[in-house]
Structure formats: structure tokens, C-alpha cells
Amino acid sequence: MDALQDFDYSFLLPLLMNVLGAIALLIVTLILAGWASRAAHRALERSNLDETLAQFFASLARYAVIVLGGLAVLSVFGISVASFAAILAAAGLAVGLALQGTLSHFAAGVMLLLFRPFKVGDVVSVAGETGKVDSIGLFSSTIDTVDNRRLIIPNGAISGSTIENITHHAMRRVDVSVGTDYSADLAATRSVLENVASSVNGGLDDPEPQVYLSELGGSSIDWSVRVWAITADYWAVREKLTNDIKHALDAKGIGIPFPQMDVHIDGSLTRDT
């Protein structure tokens, strides 16, 4: 009992004040973090920034405020921020080495969100796959293929390969290759193909359609019929153009040959008796 009476309680009041101050500072930090996140998101929305990118920067603002508040709380208890930063840097290095693959996907995701080679809704060909972009995340992106398969592709694989944004432009050129008989007149064949190209349903007049004599093949004279179309109508125009070319050539008696091989046998055949 005497020991308790002799104990010095004078240090408890400053400690209690520090604890109460730290709690208050944490509450204020969380409030400010939420406010900063909402304010950043509203500002980015008003600037018509992509929703995925707006959410990313809003989260970044929130965590930045929380980190600053945490450092302020440590300083209340007399913990040196400089020493804590050194410890945090060392820990970050260790974690970075352990998660270097994941961090590379994260870095690739940030680059995709910043430079935006494609956006949600575009049809792209990336990492050997083709489909419509459903979402762009920080670590992976999701695309839906034409046969309705959902693919989740790591961002590192996307940024490390060629990215083809198929629907980036409003117009796209439709190319249909066709071979005709060597006996067919070139001028007559060109006239037939030009008439089809200029009248195909869905084709554009500007740029003008083009019929190009590409080469003399092994069994046919090869042509390329080129028509411009609205990107969304590409496949419909391609099918219609192919169909019209076949019917037009048949109507003019111009054949579409198939590969043939002539076999010549030298010498005479004998039969054992």
C-alpha cells in the first residue's frame, strides 16, 4: 500500500493527453481522407476523366491523407518520422523484391490508365486475344471475346505486347480477295468488281472504293476489292461484299478457279505376268 502511495503518477497526465490527442488526430485524418477522396472524384468526373482512372486517383488521395495522418500520430508520441521513413523504405524494398511480378502488373496498369491506348467498350487485340474491353484494373484487364468468353489478362502481358485497337477509328477498310480465270478479260473483270464495290450496301463513297490487281497467281488472276465502312458495320459489309462479288462474276460468266495440279507420267508402265 505504501508502495502505491509512493508511486509517481505525474507522467500519466501527459501520456493520457497524448493518447487523446492521437485518437482525435486519427478521427480528423479519417474524416479528411474521406473528404479528399470524394472531392478528387467529383473534380475528375467534372473533367470527363475515365471512371476507372477517377476512382484510382480518388483512392490515391485518400491513402495519401491517411499516411500523412499516421506520421503525425507517430510524432505525437515522440517517434522520429525520419527513422520511421527509413524502416518503411527498407520494408518496402523487401516487399517490392518479393512482389516484383505483381508490382510490374501494377505499374503497367497505371501506364494503361494514364496513356489510355484503349478504353472500356473498345474492341482490341492484345496478348494474342481479341475481344471487347469490359474493365481496366490496376493489376489486370478484362475482355469479352466474340464467342462470349471472359478473359482476365495481366496488365504486364498487355503492355509488353503489341496493342491493336480495332475500333479506335470511326471508319475501317474492308478488303476482299478474289481470284479469276486466266481466260477472263482484265478490263471486263475490273468493271464488274468496280460496280460491285461502288454499290455494296453499307459501303462509303468517301474514301472511294478501290479495285486492285494484286498478282498473277499459280492458278488464278488475283484481285483485291477495297471498300470503306463504318467500323460497327465492318463484318456485315464484308459478308455482303463477298456475296455480291460471287453473284456478279457468275452473272458475267467469269469463273473463280480453284488450285489445280497437272501430273505427267514419263515412260511406260509394265505389268508382271
Q: What is the pLDDT of residues 29-44, one digit of tens each?
A: 888 888 888 888 888 7
**Residue whose cell numbers read 484503349:** 118
Give the cell for residue 105: 502488373
Range list of H helices, the chain: 2-6, 12-46, 51-76, 81-98, 100-115, 155-159, 186-199, 234-251
Rounded CA separation 224/124 (Å): 25
* Beta bridge partner(s), residue 176: 225
pLDDT tops 90 at residue 218: no
* Beta bridge partner(s), residue 136: 141
pLDDT tops 60 at residue 11: no
pLDDT tops 50 at residue 4: no
Rounded CA separation 222/40 (Å): 59
Residue 50: helix, strand or coil by DSSP? coil
45 half-sphere exposure, CB direction, 13 A CA radius: 8
Range(s) within the chain of domains with CATH label 2.30.30.60: 118-165
The C-alpha torsion from 179 through 180 and 185 to 190, rounded to 10°, is: -40
User: Which of these CATH numbers, 3.40.50.1360, 3.40.50.1980, 3.30.70.100, 3.30.230.10, describes 171-251?
Assistant: 3.30.70.100
Q: What is the mean pLDDT of residues 207-229?
A: 93
First to last CA, the chain: 131
- List, as own/partner pairs, every contact residues 36-43 make where C-beta atoms lie below 8 angstroms and the sequence separation is at least 24, other chains included: 36/61, 36/62, 36/64, 36/65, 37/61, 37/62
pLDDT score of 96: 61
Which of 21-25, 61-65, 90-94, 203-207 shows the lowest mean pLDDT across its residues?
90-94
pLDDT tops 70 at residue 15: no
Q: What is the mean pLDDT of residues 53-72?
A: 79
pLDDT score of 272: 53
Rounded CA separation 77/81 (Å): 11
CATH number for region 118-165:
2.30.30.60
Which of 88-92, 119-123, 231-235 shows the lowest mean pLDDT across its residues?
88-92
**Residue whose cell numbers read 491493336:** 164
Range(s) within the chain of domains with CATH label 3.30.70.100: 171-251
Rounded CA separation 271/215 (Å): 46
- Under 8 Å between Cβ of 105 and 160: no
pLDDT tops 50 at residue 232: yes
pLDDT score of 258: 76
> Which is more confidently placed, 11 or 182?
182
Q: What is the mean pLDDT of residues 39-51?
A: 77
> Which is more confidently placed, 139 or 272?
139
**Phi then psi for 200, rounded to 5 degrees?**
-65, 140
Structure confidence at residue 80 as a pLDDT band (50, 70, 90): low
pLDDT score of 270: 55
pLDDT digits (tens, 9 = 90+) for 96-136: 655 566 777 888 888 888 888 999 899 999 999 999 999 88
What's the predicted TM-score (pTM) here? 0.60
Report percent pLDDT > 70 for the chain. 80
Amino acid at 90: A
Measure CA 243 to chain center.
Answer: 33
Which of 82-91, 117-126, 200-209 shows the lowest mean pLDDT across its residues?
82-91
**Residue whose cell numbers read 484494373:** 137
Mean pLDDT of all residues belonging to the chain: 83
178: left (phi over 0), alpha (psi -120 to 50) or beta: beta
* Domain 10-98 class in CATH: mainly alpha
**Phi then psi for 151, rounded to 5 degrees?**
-115, 130
Give the cell for residue 212: 486492285
